[in-house]
Amino acid sequence: MNSPAPRPHQHLLIDADDTLWENNIYFEQAFEDFVSFLNHEHLSGAEIQEIMDTVALANRGALGYGARAFARILRETFRSITGVDESDHDLEIVERLGLRILDQHFETIDGVVETVTALKPHHDLILVTKGHEEEQRAKVERSGMQHSFDAIVVVEEKNDGAYRSTVKTFDLDPASTWMIGNSPKSDINPAIRAGINAIFIPHPRTWNLEVELIEDLIDPARELLHLASFRQLTSVFAATLTDPGDLMPKSRI
């Protein structure tokens, strides 16, 4: 297999949730428990999900993201479906279904630690995540990877402006800057629009509100890659390789 073209000293912006560690699986389990607790006579799980998505979209600006926001969304969804009064005791039970996510077992995705360790000596690594700042920084600390990154950026929303601001703040060259993540909506499409490179690493359990079609490149000088796993980043950024056998093929979207 031919070695990929060398990419010396790149700036790698790396997503956290469902790219470095598992996240959405815990929200899905909480939702399943919510459906069981609701035990509605007529609404299916899919119909309840639609109602909750509507509540989430309506409150995104006010609540943001994370377990605390999710707990509030569960509460508001329960009220919307049942019509109970704000003082109803069941609302506290429902809210705790979301808050327990804060105490879930922490699971780093396979290959992440080894790959980040291999990339760090050769490239700038900046973790870029969205959500509640306290929650996100607590996850980074629980991962034990806080010292693997040159900087940790927590934003309210990952959009074009957030990426342009990150590039400007750290004085990055857009041509050698990459956003790496699992979400088309938050990681890939806004990075493309912001004029940087992007690498899509899909996760089978990505939050449904983060799924959308990946856009075409605006700047033909930029690159858009699709990898099957985080481990394949050592193939893309070949300067980090210590063993030619580590090379894996990459594919463009």
The burial of 163, by beta-carbon neighbours within 10 Å (0-12 exposed, 13-18 middle, 19 or more buried), is given as: buried
More confident: 247 or 166: 166
Residues 152 and 226 in one domain: yes
Q: Last residue of some domain: 85, 103, 121?
A: 103
Question: How confident is residue 73, by pLDDT bands cut at 50, 70 and 90?
Answer: very high
Strand partners, 179: 13, 198
- Of 3-17, 68-82, 171-185, 238-252, minimum mean pLDDT range: 238-252
Check if the beta carbon of residue 143 is closer than 8 Å to that of residue 155: no
Domain coverage including residue 235:
11-21+108-252
φ and ψ of 25, to 5 deg: -60, -30
Check if the beta carbon of residue 223 is closer than 8 Å to that of residue 197: yes
Residues 139 and 236 in one domain: yes
φ and ψ of 33, to 5 deg: -70, -35
Residues 176 and 244 in one domain: yes
Residues 198 and 185 in one domain: yes
CA distance 219 to 210: 23
The CATH number assigned to the domain holding 95 equals: 1.10.150.240
Check if the beta carbon of residue 74 is closer than 8 Å to that of residue 95: yes
CA distance 200 to 225: 6
Question: How confident is residue 7, by pLDDT bands cut at 50, 70 and 90?
Answer: confident
How many distinct structural domains can be found in the chain? 2
Residues 15 and 29 in one domain: no
pLDDT at residue number 250: 35
Report the relative pairing of strands 251-252 and 224-226 from DSSP bridges.
antiparallel
Residues 151 and 200 in one domain: yes
Question: pLDDT tens digits, residue range 195-210?
Answer: 999 999 999 999 999 9
> Looking at the domain assignment, is residue 171 inside a domain?
yes
Average pLDDT over residues 168-191: 98
Residues 186 and 248 in one domain: yes
> Which of left, alpha, beta for 125 (phi over 0: left; psi -120 to 50: alpha)?
beta
